[in-house]
Amino acid sequence: MGNKGRWQEPSDREGRDEYRELRRELKLSRTSKARRAEIEARLDEISPTGGTKEPSLEKREPKPTTADNLALCARVEAARKTAEVSWPVFVPDAAAYRERALLKVAKATPAEKAAAILSDLPEHPLNKLARELAHWLWNEDRSNPKPPLETLTEQRVRHWLSRAPYNLHDIRGNKETVANAVNDALRLVAERDAAEPGWFVRRAEKLLDAPSAPSKPPAAQSRQTAERARPSSAQPEPSLNATEQAGADSAQRVNLILQVDPHLRRLAGHSTAYDSAIRAAIADRLQTHGNCDGGFLAGLYNAVRPKNVGAFPPRQF
């Protein structure tokens, strides 16, 4: 058996020099057996906390088996049944939760306050723009199931209110309408803060103190569960008003695409022949693929544009 781990290098300088010299001599192949025994004995003397060549006799405790785990579960279950008082694992503190929620509400940003105000104003310009764009995105989404239209609308409103540096235009590619609507929503927040200081906190207190809604009767719950479990071939479209009808049929979707792409819109206005060709190509693309990406629109423009007219240079994508 080797000497690995048998000795440790002394801390003092003289002992360390002697230790290193003896270890080098011990490693030499020409060192005799008797000399090796003397070196090992000397190393055992000068090593302050030297180990031993014998392997450790300590035995590791074996891992519990399946039978041990089942026996432990049985003992825990028996103790739980025989316990005099059974304490719940977690007891929520309603007062602490309410206090934390109100502290968070007190630090709300103007964007969060604006979202709360707009939830009560469905006809606000920002809500209208968000519903229009959300419906177009809902129609273009090919996933199943689709997210609810109300969720997409709320997400778009919050995104615009956050003034993120991307996707700040409406369905027609106009950023000014969105900016004006956002500024108007923030104006409503400033006026409300000036007229009713602390209104947002009072609104949160009212929501927290409101009694919970009564649970549905068992019959209604079972009926709702059965309707969810019933397979459906396609998810029905949400009910739409007159404003949300944009993009419902193929012609209106073509109009929306032309409104978003200024190059094709300008080329379609050049003559009736170009307008008919562009609309037919977009409608065919929508019917076959369900969408029109930037590469297709750029290629369509380059294929249809008049080559001898300098007002319509080629597009790069």
In angstroms, how far is CA 257 from the centroid of its own chain?
A: 29
Per-residue model confidence (pLDDT) at position 240: 46
Q: Judge whether 173 lies within some domain.
A: yes
- Statement to judge: residues 31 and 128 lie in one domain: no
Q: Judge whether 99 lies within some domain.
A: yes
- Statement to judge: residues 185 and 133 lie in one domain: yes
Per-residue model confidence (pLDDT) at position 181: 92
Q: Judge whether 286 lies within some domain.
A: yes
pLDDT band at 191 (very low <50, low <70, confident <90, very high): very high
- Statement to judge: residues 28 and 113 lie in one domain: no
Inform me whether the pLDDT recorded for 34 exceeds 80.
Answer: yes
Inform me whether the pLDDT recorded for 163 exceeds 60.
Answer: yes
Inform me whether the pLDDT recorded for 209 exceeds 90.
Answer: no
Between CA 228 and CA 48 the distance in angstroms is: 76
| Last-in-domain residue among 158, 188, 208 | 208
Q: Judge whether 193 lies within some domain.
A: yes
Q: Judge whether 103 lies within some domain.
A: yes
Inform me whether the pLDDT recorded for 85 exceeds 70.
Answer: no
**Percentage of the chain exceeding pLDDT 70:** 78
Per-residue model confidence (pLDDT) at position 215: 47
pLDDT band at 212 (very low <50, low <70, confident <90, very high): low
Per-residue model confidence (pLDDT) at position 249: 61
Per-residue model confidence (pLDDT) at position 227: 54
- Statement to judge: residues 127 and 190 lie in one domain: yes
- Three state DSSP letters for the chain: CCCCCCCCCCCCHHHHHHHHHHHHHHHCCCCCHHHHHHHHHHHHHHCCCCCCCCCCCCCCCCCCCHHHHHHHHHHHHHHHHHCCCCCCCCCCCHHHHHHHHHHHHHCCCHHHHHHHHHCCCCCCHHHHHHHHHHHHHHHHCCCCCCCCHHHHHHHHHHHHHCCCCCCCCCCCCCHHHHHHHHHHHHHHHHHHHHHCCCHHHHHHHHHHHCCCCCCCCHHHHHHHHHHHHCCCCCCCCCCCCCHHHCCCCHHHHHHHHHHHCHHHHHHHCCCHHHHHHHHHHHHHHHHHHCCCCHHHHHHHHHHHCCCCCCCCCCCCC
Across 79-83, 148-152, 252-256, 288-292, least confident range: 79-83
If phi over 0 gives left and psi between -120 and 50 gives alpha, with beta otherwise, what is residue 155?
Answer: alpha
- Statement to judge: residues 103 and 193 lie in one domain: yes
Across 62-66, 72-76, 269-273, least confident range: 269-273
- Statement to judge: residues 187 and 271 lie in one domain: no
Inform me whether the pLDDT recorded for 53 exceeds 80.
Answer: no
- What mean pLDDT, rounded, does the chain reach? 77
Q: What is the pTM of this model?
A: 0.41
- Statement to judge: residues 266 and 187 lie in one domain: no
Inform me whether the pLDDT recorded for 153 exceeds 80.
Answer: yes
Q: Which domain holds residue 273?
A: 247-304
Q: Judge whether 106 lies within some domain.
A: yes
Tell me the per-residue pLDDT of 247-290, one tens digit each, with 9 for 90 and over: 446 777 888 788 778 888 888 888 777 888 888 888 888 887 77
Across 182-191, 242-251, 308-317, least confident range: 242-251
Inform me whether the pLDDT recorded for 184 exceeds 90.
Answer: yes
In angstroms, how far is CA 188 from the centroid of its own chain?
A: 31
- Statement to judge: residues 117 and 181 lie in one domain: yes
Q: Judge whether 224 lies within some domain.
A: no
| Last-in-domain residue among 185, 208, 231 | 208
Between CA 28 and CA 148 the distance in angstroms is: 81
- Statement to judge: residues 191 and 264 lie in one domain: no
- Statement to judge: residues 203 and 124 lie in one domain: yes
Q: Judge whether 109 lies within some domain.
A: yes
The total number of structural domains that make up the chain: 3
Inform me whether the pLDDT recorded for 24 exceeds 70.
Answer: yes
Inform me whether the pLDDT recorded for 122 exceeds 60.
Answer: yes
